[in-house]
Amino acid sequence: MQYLKEEVKKAIVESALKEFKEKSYMKASMRSIAKNAGVTVGNIYRYFNNKDDLFNFIVDPVWMDLEKVIFGNYDLSVDLFPITEIISSIMDIYKRFNNELFILLHNSSGSKYGNIKEELIELIKKRIEEETLPLLKKNNKVLKDKFIFYIVSSAIVDSIYTIMKECGDDFDRAEALIKQTITIFSKDLYTKI
């Protein structure tokens, strides 16, 4: 009986990370991942059931962290969206999972995350809606069309997506741009709609 080795699993994951980043989920080859990891294809299947399992092993933690950021228990500020805390959390994910986040946002077509952009928009929309509607009611404002929440959320996701693609490993620049973007779209939102 052979035992699974952490070093082999680590080599497979590192090779897969590179393959998914360079080629995307759809174009990634288990044969290429095995070759670059210095193992046989059969050996990969001792650690992962299939390409989906390997891909999910890499990107699931990033998605779970993003969900926590969006629905974190941040204290509401006067500016509605808890901007500082959310930016700090997003940057923490970006710094810890730069390659994985790139793969999730740019190269996940064909995987269970193929519609990730729309899912992120919906999560952010839900968060903004949950925080904005009570403030509107409290201030006796009537919202004529809730689709505005989708528009704002879509703009936030598109902006962050573009910033991360442009900035790569330049975390300081990315953080400054993300902060400006989220502030522009969310500061005092309930007073603008």
pLDDT in tens, 25-50: 999 999 999 999 999 999 999 999 99
Q: Quick check: 16 pLDDT over 70?
A: yes
| Helix boundaries (H) for the chain | 6-27, 30-37, 41-47, 51-70, 83-96, 98-106, 116-138, 147-167, 171-186, 189-192
Q: Quick check: 88 pLDDT over 90?
A: no
| Per-residue pLDDT band at 1 (split at 50, 70, 90) | very low
| CA proximity to 29, closest of 38, 42, 20, 40 | 20
Q: How many domains does the chain have?
A: 2
For all residues of the chain together, what is the average pLDDT?
Answer: 87
Same domain, 84 and 33: no
pLDDT in tens, 46-78: 999 999 999 999 999 999 998 888 776 655 554
Q: Is residue 115 part of a domain?
A: yes
Full domain range(s) for residue 154:
58-192
Cα end-to-end distance, the chain, whole Å? 65
